[in-house]
């Protein structure tokens, strides 16, 4: 077999299971969530973050989770793929929406989150 085929079928080093969400981080540090006017979008959820971090370290990483069949679900799938995370276990659920989290950093130790 070629090296590319061997790499494709190599065992995974890390498999994470659980929530993947789209996190919207308030860009005005020190402001209340009510006062935030702009947000940055990223993939969130501890299992998703761990799979990305371990992939960046060169480990073969995979995430088992479920996302909605909409723009945010596609965003998560595309971002994880860009990061080198195996998404074979990322299932699309046509009956549910992808998790969305709004966050702000209001003060040291005060970071409210709203989960949808």
pLDDT band at 108 (very low <50, low <70, confident <90, very high): confident
Query: Tell me, what's the pLDDT at 111?
Result: 84
Q: Is residue 5 part of a domain?
A: no
Q: In this predicted model, what pLDDT tens digit does every residue of 23-57 receive, in sequence order?
A: 999 999 999 889 999 999 999 999 999 999 999 99
| Residue 45, domain CATH | 3.40.1190.30
- pTM, two decimals, is 0.86
Residue 6 falls inside a structural domain = no
The pair of structure tokens assigned to 89 is 């276990």
From the list 27, 45, 46, 29, the residue with the least C-alpha distance to 37 is 27
Count up the domains in the chain and report the number. 1
> In this structure, is residue 48 part of a structural domain?
yes
Question: Please, which pLDDT band fits residue 9 given cuts at 50, 70 and 90?
Answer: confident
């Amino acid at each position: 077999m070629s090296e590319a085929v061997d790499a494709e079928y190599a065992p995974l080093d890390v498999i994470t299971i659980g929530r993947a969400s789209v996190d919207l981080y308030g860009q005005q540090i020190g402001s209340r969530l009510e006062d935030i006017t702009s947000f940055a979008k990223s993939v969130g959820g501890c299992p998703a973050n761990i799979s990305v971090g371990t992939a960046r370290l060169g480990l073969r990483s995979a995430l088992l989770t479920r996302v909605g069949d909409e723009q945010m679900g596609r965003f998560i799938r595309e971002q994880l793929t860009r990061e080198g995370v195996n998404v074979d276990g990322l299932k699309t659920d046509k009956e549910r929406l992808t998790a969305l989290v709004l966050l702000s950093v209001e003060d040291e130790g005060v970071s409210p989150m709203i989960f949808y």
